[in-house]
Chain A
Amino acid sequence: MPLLCKKNLSPLQRRSLAGFAGVIACTAGLTMMVREAFEHVHLSLPGIWGLAIIAATPMGVMVFIVGRYLSQETDEFVRMLVVKAMLWGFGVTMVTDTIFSYLAEYAGNGRSNGMLQMLNIDVFFVSAAIALRLMARGYASDDGRVATENGRAE
Chain B
Amino acid sequence: VKNRLRVLRAEREWSQAELAERLAVSRQSVNAIETGKFDPSLPLAFKIARLFGSPIEAIFLED
- Chain A interfacial positions (CB closer than 8 Å to B): 3, 8, 74-78, 80, 136, 139-142, 146-147, 149-154
Contacts and interface: CB of A to CB of B under 8 A. Distances in A.
Interface string B9-53: 111010111000000111111011111011011001000000000
B37 A150 contact: no
Interface residues of B, number: 25
Contacts of A76: 25, 29, 40-41, 44
A42 B34 CA distance: 62
Contact of A142 (B9, B31, B41): B31
Interface of B: 6-7, 9-11, 13, 15-17, 24-29, 31-35, 37-38, 40-41, 44
Contact of B15 (A80, A142, A150, A153): A150
Contacts of A75: 24-26, 29
Contacts of B40: 76-77
Contacts of A77: 25-26, 28-29, 32-33, 38, 40
Chain A interface main SS type: loop
A139 B28 contact: yes
A95 B34 CA distance: 35
B31 A154 contact: no
Contact of B26 (A8, A149, A153, A154): A8
Nearest to A10: B26
B28 A3 contact: yes
A74 B32 CA distance: 16
A77 B29 CA distance: 6
